[in-house]
A and B are shown apart, each in its own frame.
Chain A
């Protein structure tokens, strides 16, 4: 039994590509974080960071930290994901066109992997430059000296970091795009 023939309905429609395209849209419009860092207790946060390629939310002492460039970068990633979804769907529908395979995007698989690598690099930079060790997953204690009413005080802040279920969902969702690319009929097979 030819799996490729089945998954492309006899080389007429790349089903996995279509699924991957719809999943890409779902990921792009989701506002849930992929990685969360919380400093302080469970009830009250001294600081928190919620990150994904599509959203960034950082708060320190209950106040948001706003970095305009991040907002526009998140917006850019979201739009390019939607474009990738559109090209993937187009490529999956027009299977017999010579250009269709090039339209199947692997963004759904590459982005979660790149996100984790970039996060690791950023945390290493923070460790080297500021001496603050932030784990990707797990618990740690941040010891920091601050000035309060002209006195130097030492704070010990417990930190908890985790990769959210949304991240793993995004990673798993990226697999259909790889399958879609692999099974996409070449010109030769589609002309049979």
Chain B
């Protein structure tokens, strides 16, 4: 074999060895288990929001539905807006909902989330009438919550049913009716 060919062969072997050596090292480090070498490892951060209903308040024919919003995840979340409607179980629609103000929820934090509901006079009168008879009325909130996390806006569908009672409404009811 001439020197030229030998030199070329040597350079090629060196290049190949340099490329393959770390891979062999890696295989050895992973106990020659190819799957552990090619399977990505990723632990996603936890994400979650819980909405705990609290007693509503009423003022000037506007119902303030209050929740305690908790960030149960590991990423900071901002609740920017809420568009939705409220229905009374076995009844009609009460009205549309709007978020009073944006809330910022760092991981593990809880904040009050207040939604305003402006029912028509008739719907409000029906609700009050049912509340006086049944003491507890189940309402269903359906809508979309716009949440900002890591710079992007995410549309989260919300569908929650919960009971509202006389608490928080009584003072206004007795004053108005």
Contacts and interface: CB of A to CB of B under 8 A. Distances in A.
Contacts of B92: none
Contacts of A99: 3-4, 6-8
Interface in B148-177: 149-158
A155 interface: yes
The size class of the interface chain B forms with chain A is 35 or more
Contact of B44 (A60, A83, A103, A158): A60
Contacts of A46: 149-152
Given A69-B26, A99-B8, A79 B150 contact: no
A149 B48 contact: yes
B150 A72 contact: no
A2 interface: no
Given A69-B26, A72-B25, A72-B26, A149 B40 contact: no
Interface in A160-188: none
B4 A98 contact: yes
Nearest to B26: A72
A84 interface: yes
B38 A69 contact: yes
A140 interface: no
A80 B15 contact: yes
A41 interface: yes
Contact of B23 (A42, A60, A76): A76
B152 A41 contact: yes
Interface of B: 3-4, 6-8, 11, 14-16, 18-23, 25-26, 30, 36-45, 47-50, 75, 149-158
25 contacts: A41-B151, A44-B151, A46-B149, A61-B150, A62-B150, A65-B42, A66-B41, A66-B42, A67-B38, A72-B23, A72-B37, A77-B19, A79-B22, A83-B15, A87-B14, A87-B15, A98-B3, A99-B6, A102-B8, A149-B47, A149-B48, A151-B158, A154-B154, A155-B154, A157-B152
